[in-house]
Amino acid sequence: MDRSTSLKRILMVIFACFALSACATGKKAGSGQMQGDVYTGNDTVEYLATGVKDRVFFATNKSTLTTASRDTLRKQAAWMRKNKDLSVTVEGHADERGTREYNLALGERRANAVKDYLMTYGISGNRISVISYGKERPVNSGSTPLAWSQNRRSVTIK
């Protein structure tokens, strides 16, 4: 094998390695986004039913519903009105920062904010129970602003 053929093969291998590594580290379509300190992505979102998100996200130390959260909850309420025999549990979660007690109380306020909003759309409070897990059940165990924002959530489960 001559030297130029050898060099071409080596360059092809190097090019292939670069191409593969670029594919492996590229950003996934639909991955998480931050809007202020609220996570708005859909990469960790599951569904109660087709097309209805099961979770909403909150700002740091807040239990106030965002515009995106209210939109999601309106869809949940519509879905629950169609499934009148169904009861749900709303789980309240917090990020890792703060004491256990503080985060349990914050998670409960978040879950109750969701329950109250669903009730304004005609869902009986008897069909909605709330529980707070505080910081005990993170979806992202990282210690970064993105991880924290993904963990500041309420999840509606059947």
**What pLDDT digit, counting tens, does each position of 23-66 carry?**
444 433 344 555 666 555 555 556 776 678 999 999 999 999 99
The upper half-sphere exposure of residue 122, i.e. CA atoms within 13 Å in the direction of its Cβ, equals 11
Q: Which residue has the tokens 């379509």?
A: 29
Per-residue pLDDT tens digits for 65-104: 999 999 999 999 999 999 999 999 999 999 999 999 999 9
> What confidence tens digit (pLDDT) does each residue in 116-138 have?
999 999 999 999 999 999 999 99
Q: Which CATH superfamily is domain 28-157 in?
A: OmpA-like domain (3.30.1330.60)
Q: Output the pLDDT for position 105.
A: 98
Q: Residue 13 has what pLDDT?
A: 57
> Which residue type, as a one-letter code, is found at position 109?
R
Ramachandran bin of 26, using left for φ above 0, alpha for ψ from -120 to 50, beta for the remaining angles: beta
55: left (phi over 0), alpha (psi -120 to 50) or beta: beta
* pLDDT at position 21 over 60: no
d(CA 65, CA 30): 22
| pLDDT for the residue 28 | 39
Question: Do the Cβ atoms of 135 and 103 come closer than 8 Å?
Answer: yes
Predicted TM-score of the model (pTM): 0.74
Q: Which two tokens stand for residue 120?
A: 């304004």
The pLDDT mean for the chain works out to 83
Unique residue bearing structure tokens 């807040």? 62
